[in-house]
Chains A and B, each alone.
Chain A
């Protein structure tokens, strides 16, 4: 009897709790979709929750809309209290539903070229909030929601990334129903797959394979303009590289011509400056040191290392246009350092992501082999990114005299007017030797001969929406490596940026296969007379992949979470947001170092 009573009581409690649970769910269930499906409804609470708006004292919100929450547009904005924080932006504000105004601290002639870059692509405000702006396990890193011609279908980590056509694309619809990204770090495998017909296009065929591809009637080789630089970096916070003479000795002790002549494909050239000459003002100032082992040894002895020293050469074993044969070049530099300067360098091959993190955070104590491909054709993209105020710690402590010149150069629009500053900056780089520029590497892409619209982009952002094989639904592309994440606001690796560029769009973009900017999500962005204000009129009726409509708040939100380091959505993949810092100078509310 007692047991029966016990059972009855237990059953009653379980039943009661189920009833209570069922009753409690409906409100929660209705709240959740409201966040995503009805953005207008959720804007008000979201605004108050976002410390970007509440913590930063100057952040303002228009209160006008609070009385009519249903449809009214509440413009979002963020302003810096002043320009002392070191960045270029004074404020970013949504003027109305389809107008965004950028106020600059100093005139920025490269504004359009920079804002067009894929790190500043626009995603829905609600999606950014819902995914928490990134962080470990966040959907934002796996599944960006953009406005591009393709949308993410599936990313099988370690295998392939599948994109499918965006049926609501505002522009010219994509030629293929599906684009598949595959990857292999082995040039031989990439070519083999292309020859076997399992992929339709490959990036960076090995230099030895150029002739094979050109001789094959079923394939086409498209050379890529050498808008890149390969360099040997040194961190001046680690001895002996804290000594300028040691760095100069290494600059003179490496025979760069030998490296380019022996290990680079046709179309490559020895770097006379950090920036390629095709970029205006890239090659002003004195050319780099001539190879002079005698003088290099004398300098090294003067610095206190007559018998050389021991160090390390760190690199990642991934092929890039600027470094087509990483292992071979690393070994040649190792041999040259031993032969010319008696420096014993141990080779350290690192995983790509770990290597970039270690380089950017200034942890590499020896030499490191890295390079840079142009994101947009401006000095700012090369020099400011590496040596400007917002540069990473890759080369250790920054050089104030270089920063000063770069600041002045970046503030001017006219190439001739900028020339003296870039001449001075190039000369100072030569003097301080934060790195040794080695080569501007010629590279290429290769496609099946049947691919229409095949092209190589000098910015390495091939556009697959314009390519295709007639009668074929799927286009398969094989690149060097798997993307690290697909939230490209916080990625620097070209292998991540390329898929992002198919999926997300910025206010402006770059022409297919070229470097000129053209409007994308903005119909036009116009500056005021002194280039301190840029007003962008957004394209109307543009739909995101989740069906929501683009408005000015999406633009503002996508950008201010990068700009404001105190914003709770300022998370990203690693939280570095390297491009923002490098191109726009500094974060707002950056933590004190």
Chain B
């Protein structure tokens, strides 16, 4: 993995030098253009992108496409019963019965609307935790890699300590201290993801800082802050993008697990993990209440995994050397 990154970076000192002079090079354009082209050539990545686009669309338009308010209890509103099976008119459900394409949940709410709103929450969870973790992790990793010595040792040993715990257990411990709730769960997941990004960044920074263009910047009198954040980091983004995309999937899964355990989103919030947890006892009597949230989680995680895998391949220069370009 480290070798891959070094090679990917080796390709670019010229680009970086030119960029340092404030120029946009044709090579830099062609690099990202190439990445996109390679990404789109991979069917699995395209499928991942489409699923993701679909989920984002659902999340953005949930207010319009959801037939019911996700927290509205339908007792007395419609003639429906707790945990009623799906009723789809197209599939032969009598017209005089209200349509609920994913059925009714244990609290007599429309499951379909809850699933739609759940997409909004899950994407938000994934993006926000990973963004937070990347910002903190990159900062720590960059400083550790660039400054080295005692600072490196202190930061990375702390990261090692965090990595020594199984991530979900650590997240549970953090939530137990902070108290259950969505925000605290997000914070916990973000904290446990930090070491991954810190390590990746540190490894990249360690190799990039030895490169000529960095030496040049240093010779031109650039301060360490400028060299690190202005020169080195922008050239270390590639592995972060891949790790981040795959990390979103893990974060969504962790958030769902925490919610399943009752430590994440609190009722009546329509969160997939919470929905799954609330109805886990009905797996035989009302399987639709367990299937749909589970399927939604699976689909989202799959989308991010496919995309992440595609990105990793697309950003890998060795594949280009093998004539994949």
Interface membership of B216, Cβ < 8 A: no
Whole-angstrom distance from the CB of B123 to the nearest CB of chain A?
Answer: 24
Query: CA–CA, A262 to B282, complex, Å?
Result: 16
Query: CA–CA, A472 to B58, complex, Å?
Result: 58
Within 8 A of A (CB), among B95-133: 106-108
Which of A13-21, A103-111, A329-337 forms part of the interface with chain B?
A329-337
Interface membership of B75, Cβ < 8 A: yes
CB of B107 within 8 A of CB of A335, answer yes
Contact of A263 among B82, B283, B284 (CB under 8 A): B82
Interface membership of A575, Cβ < 8 A: no
Interface membership of B267, Cβ < 8 A: yes
Residues of A within 8 A of B180 (CB): 348-349
CB of B107 within 8 A of CB of A332, answer yes
Q: What per-residue 1/0 map shows which CB atoms of A317-343 lie under 8 Å from chain B?
A: 100000001011011101100010000
Interface membership of B12, Cβ < 8 A: no
CB of B262 within 8 A of CB of A208, answer no
Interface membership of A361, Cβ < 8 A: no
Within 8 A of B (CB), among A256-306: 258, 262-263
Whole-angstrom distance from the CB of A338 to the nearest CB of chain B?
Answer: 8
Query: CA–CA, A384 to B106, complex, Å?
Result: 35
Interface membership of A458, Cβ < 8 A: no
Interface membership of B286, Cβ < 8 A: yes
Interface membership of A154, Cβ < 8 A: no
Whole-angstrom distance from the CB of B85 to the nearest CB of chain A?
Answer: 12
CB of B266 within 8 A of CB of A346, answer yes
Q: A186-B280, A263-B82, A332-B73 are in contact. Are A209 and B267 (CB under 8 A)?
A: no
Residues of B within 8 A of A187 (CB): 281
Query: CA–CA, A208 to B284, complex, Å?
Result: 10
CB of A188 within 8 A of CB of B75, answer no
CB of A325 within 8 A of CB of B106, answer yes
Query: CA–CA, A188 to B284, complex, Å?
Result: 8
CB of B266 within 8 A of CB of A335, answer no
Contact of A327 among B71, B81, B82, B267 (CB under 8 A): B267
Interface membership of B83, Cβ < 8 A: yes
Q: Which 7 A-B pairs have the closest CB atoms?
A: A208-B285, A188-B281, A328-B106, A331-B267, A331-B107, A335-B73, A187-B281
Query: CA–CA, A346 to B180, complex, Å?
Result: 11
Q: Smallest CB-CB separation from A330: which chain B residue?
A: B267
Q: What per-residue 1/0 map shows which CB atoms of B249-279 lie under 8 Å from chain A?
A: 0000000000000100011100000000010
Whole-angstrom distance from the CB of A501 to the nearest CB of chain B?
Answer: 27
Whole-angstrom distance from the CB of B120 to the nearest CB of chain A?
Answer: 20
Q: What per-residue 1/0 map shows which CB atoms of B272-305 lie under 8 Å from chain A?
A: 0000001011111110000000000000000000
CB of A328 within 8 A of CB of B76, answer no
CB of A347 within 8 A of CB of B280, answer no
Query: CA–CA, A179 to B267, complex, Å?
Result: 39
Within 8 A of B (CB), among A175-210: 186-188, 192, 206, 208-209
Whole-angstrom distance from the CB of A312 to the nearest CB of chain B?
Answer: 11
Contact of A328 among B81, B107, B266, B283 (CB under 8 A): B107
Residues of B within 8 A of A328 (CB): 82, 106-107, 278
Q: Smallest CB-CB separation from A261: which chain B residue?
A: B75
CB of A208 within 8 A of CB of B282, answer yes
Residues of A within 8 A of B75 (CB): 258, 262
Q: Smallest CB-CB separation from A192: which chain B residue?
A: B284
Query: CA–CA, A284 to B107, complex, Å?
Result: 33
A contact face: mostly helix, strand, loop, or mixed = helix
Residues of B within 8 A of A348 (CB): 180
Whole-angstrom distance from the CB of A310 to the nearest CB of chain B?
Answer: 13
Whole-angstrom distance from the CB of B259 to the nearest CB of chain A?
Answer: 12
Within 8 A of A (CB), among B224-267: 262, 266-267
CB of B107 within 8 A of CB of A188, answer no
Query: CA–CA, A192 to B284, complex, Å?
Result: 10
Within 8 A of A (CB), among B59-82: 71, 73, 75-76, 81-82
Interface membership of A212, Cβ < 8 A: yes
Q: Smallest CB-CB separation from B285: which chain A residue?
A: A208
Whole-angstrom distance from the CB of A233 to the nearest CB of chain B?
Answer: 20
Residues of A within 8 A of B282 (CB): 188, 206, 208
Contact of A347 among B73, B82, B108, B266 (CB under 8 A): B266
Within 8 A of B (CB), among A190-240: 192, 206, 208-209, 212
Residues of B within 8 A of A335 (CB): 71, 73, 107, 268
Residues of A within 8 A of B278 (CB): 327-328, 331
Query: CA–CA, A72 to B280, complex, Å?
Result: 62
Among B75, B108, B262, the most chain A Cβ lie within 10 Å of the Cβ of: B75
CB of B285 within 8 A of CB of A349, answer no
Contact of A208 among B73, B83, B107, B266 (CB under 8 A): B83
17 contacts between A and B (CB under 8 A): A186-B281, A188-B283, A188-B284, A208-B83, A208-B285, A258-B76, A262-B75, A262-B82, A263-B82, A317-B262, A327-B267, A331-B106, A332-B73, A334-B267, A335-B73, A347-B266, A347-B267
Query: CA–CA, A261 to B180, complex, Å?
Result: 31
Query: CA–CA, A150 to B28, complex, Å?
Result: 81
Query: CA–CA, A188 to B281, complex, Å?
Result: 5
Whole-angstrom distance from the CB of B140 to the nearest CB of chain A?
Answer: 34
Whole-angstrom distance from the CB of B183 to the nearest CB of chain A?
Answer: 13
Query: CA–CA, A335 to B70, complex, Å?
Result: 12
Q: What per-residue 1/0 map shows which CB atoms of A341-355 lie under 8 Å from chain B?
A: 000001111000000
Query: CA–CA, A331 to B83, complex, Å?
Result: 15
CB of B283 within 8 A of CB of A208, answer no
Whole-angstrom distance from the CB of B52 to the nearest CB of chain A?
Answer: 31
Residues of B within 8 A of A347 (CB): 266-267
